[in-house]
Chains A and B, each alone.
Chain A
Amino acid sequence: MAIPFVYNIRNVMNRPMSTLTTALGIGLTVAIFIGALALAAGFRASLVGTGRADNAIVLRKGADSEISSGISRDNTNIIAALQEIATGPDGKPMVTSDLVVVTNRERMGQTGSSNVTVRGVDAAASAIRGNVEITEGRMFTPGTDEVIIGRRIAGRFKNCGVGEKIRFQQRDFTVVGHFRAGGSAFESEIWGDVEILMPALDRDNTYQTVVFRMRDPSQFAAIKSRLESDPRLQVQVEVESRFFAKQSEMFTGLITGIGLFITIIMAVGALFGAANTMFAAIGSRTREIATLLVLGFSPGAIMLSFIFESILISAVGGVLGILMALPVNGITSSTTNFSSFSELAFQFQVTPAAMLAGMGFAVGLGLLGGFFPALRASRQTLSTALRGG
């Protein structure tokens, strides 16, 4: 017969300080675990959200990022003539060519500088990339020295406020608006008219990428082989969403690795802490355990009961950890994505899956930490148990 759970709950409540400190140790571990997951998830989400599954992106053969790519104006015209490109509501093919360059800008509020992506776009870009919304000011006027700035970096770099002047090479550009783009990496970029930016940034007649909407995304393989086998082009073609997701791999891999390293080490520490608490709890209840044995509870039931008690404490820790990690959700942070060599601002995302993983992690810790103490409790013989204490 199993020992009622109430027994454990009352015991745990009986020593609130000890329970709380142990739970706190586990909670901090869980919080960091969830935090690392949230960071990786947020970073990944901002890049994954950048591309669309029905868009194809064309880069120069061998280029592993937008900035290392280059496609001449002539070649962009060849690509734009492709029949598989979808037609927009205006009857024009949905294709756009981007200038993508990295510029060094001074940070605001702290010393130092970092790289920011400047994207020269044409009139078709917003429709093809989708979800570009102006949050402040207005859209730039094509043909003028105007730019708009992604809302996530607007507060992080100097001269990015609406109405301010931002300098590229010898030319001043006026910031006329801030924009949002569904939380994607575009929100960490500066956008302007490609035809104005190209000469201003010394890129004569070379775009970095061509992006087009596929009439039928299931035909991607055929489109890819068609373009890649064209000897004039020397390009590679990828699904846009997959391309940007790949740009996040290096960083998320790194963060997950570091996060795992930190969490495992902390978990070992918390495990010792939990075991300590359980050993103490059992040590002070030697007679109680003997009484349970006398009452006819089997050693197995006693072991189970103590493991449950340990899990109970760690579950409290798990809840504490989730509560501690939750405020991180939505915090905007930034770092350089070395795949694109420029700043990427992202929001921590505490996903339900991460919380669940954190809770599972806590319960696992409780199970492991409580196992040996529980084993010791169940192995006590009646005579020693009654004599001791």
Chain B
Amino acid sequence: MNLVSLVLVNLGRNKLRTFLTLASVTVALFLFISLRGVLDTLNASIEVGSRQRLVTRNAISLVFPMPQSYGNRIAAVPGVKSVAIQNWFGGQDPRGSQYFYAQFAVDEAFFPIYRKDMEIIEASTPAVSAAVPAGADAKLAGYFAEQTGCVVGEKLMKKYGWKLGQTITLNGTIYPGNWPYTIRAVYRATNPAFGDETMFFQYKYLEQKGMAGSGQVGVYILDLTSSDRSAAIAQQVDAMFENSASSTRTESEQAFQAGFVSMYGNIPFVLNVIGLAVVFAILGIAANTMMMAMRERTTEFGVLKTLGFTDGTVFTMVLAEAAIITMGGGILGALLAKLIVTGTSTGFLPPLTIYWSSVLLGIGIATLIGAVSGLIPAFQASRLRIVDALRRVD
């Protein structure tokens, strides 16, 4: 008990130094946890993928479409409950390229398949009562009733200050022309990895206006009755089109998403290296502080030892002091990151998530760093001979 209060008194002795060290550790941990958040989010984006869903794309690459006729043939494969169309649009906001957001043309089967990943929080009511495809949210009636209707993510709405019922325009890059849309519903992702910043519109609109009715499809999303036979079904689908003009590649939705993460190449590695550098930087700062603190107190250690404090006690004391500062900074920094960074969006990624496990890891690392940085000063202090300590005059 005495030892704890002694350590606390020592920490309060040079408040400025304690504060500066604490602050630098806080800042470093904030950064470390934020970087981990980016990496975790990147990995988590794989997890939108339910294993009960497969994705079929053109075997050459995503950029190549497949004929619309494939849809019915895939749907006939036993074990496939329903097949949805999803097509990247890649339109540009006329206000400029910095107003970037993802747009997909999707067919009627899309919303029923993702019903559990999102909810409609706001929607227009159609002028005349209209039917909604089986399994889709009844609130989407207004969207389905209008060819140019679109469904927009909650965050995207807020970001650009859009209102329900408003008309927005896109300039097509892949599908030339000027494309007006009316916002007919707003969704919120219930699965964070689904993302709140996407715009969905009707595939029919794209097909009629952009493809001259030729019916090309970017990807098919296959909802299976169970995940047991997914690998076999994927093989069966690909075998069906193997010798057609557009051969396909079918994989689980998870593997499909993992492909996007793989596209980042070495960037996650670079972030890891930076995280490591940050940890080393804190180590240096903390070690320096402890060494300075110990140097000033050499005489004091002599006195403590004269009073009967053992070498071991002095060692523990110094180590504890270092660990407390860095742990305090760790807790502050990690919590700040959790509070501030969570939910930030970074363009391609879903909103950043910071796990409690990362926060704990951060605090653990910070404490460990403190202990390591205190090792040398603590060792020196414990090895100090009383005579030498007291003889030294500053």
Contact = CB atoms under 8 A, between A and B. Distances in A.
Nearest to A62: B176
Interface in A258-299: 262, 265-266, 268-273, 275-277, 279-280, 283-284
Given A101-B60, A389-B394, A170 B247 contact: yes
A11 to B, nearest CB: 14
Interface stretch (B199-207, B284-292, B312-320): B284-292
Nearest to A246: B97
Contacts of B259: 104, 112-114
Interface stretch (A83-91, A141-149, A333-341): A333-341
Given A25-B281, A39-B270, A276-B285, A269 B17 contact: no
A333 B173 contact: no
Given A21-B285, A250-B97, A335-B267, A102 B63 contact: yes
A262 B280 CA distance: 15
Interface stretch (B20-28, B76-84, B143-151): B20-28
Nearest to B285: A273
Contact of A262 (B61, B243, B265, B274): B274
A317 B346 CA distance: 32
Interface in A127-185: 168-170
Contacts of B16: 279
Contacts of B172: 62
A248 to B, nearest CB: 13
Interface stretch (A64-72, A303-311, A357-365): A64-72
A6 interface: no
Contact of B285 (A249, A269, A338, A389): A269
Q: Which of A35, A39, A65, A335 neighbours the largest number of chain B CB atoms within 10 Å of its CB?
A: A335
Contacts of A21: 284-285, 287-288, 291
Contacts of B249: 104
Contact of B284 (A25, A262, A268, A389): A25
A272 B60 contact: no
A201 interface: yes
**Which of B63, B246, B282 gathers the greatest number of chain A CB atoms within 10 Å?**
B63
A72 to B, nearest CB: 14
B185 to A, nearest CB: 28
A107 interface: yes
Given A22-B288, A107-B262, A60 B270 contact: no
Interface residues of B, number: 61
A202 B245 contact: yes
Which secondary structure dominates where chain B touches chain A?
A: helix
A115 B173 contact: no
Interface in B6-43: 16-17, 20-21, 23-25, 27-28, 30-31, 35
B282 A269 contact: yes
B174 A68 contact: yes
Interface in A320-364: 333-336, 338, 341, 343
Interface string B320-350: 0000000000000000000000000001100
Interface of B: 16-17, 20-21, 23-25, 27-28, 30-31, 35, 59-64, 90, 92, 97, 100, 171-174, 176-177, 243, 245-247, 249, 258-259, 261-267, 270, 274, 277-278, 280-282, 284-285, 287-289, 291-292, 295-296, 347-348, 394
Interface of A: 17-18, 21-22, 24-25, 28-29, 31-32, 35, 39, 60-65, 67-68, 101-104, 107, 110-115, 168-170, 201-202, 234, 249-250, 254, 262, 265-266, 268-273, 275-277, 279-280, 283-284, 333-336, 338, 341, 343, 389
Given A114-B263, A272-B24, A341-B62, 20 more contacts: A17-B291, A18-B288, A21-B285, A21-B287, A25-B281, A32-B277, A64-B92, A101-B63, A168-B60, A169-B60, A201-B64, A265-B27, A272-B21, A272-B285, A273-B24, A273-B284, A276-B285, A333-B270, A336-B265, A389-B394
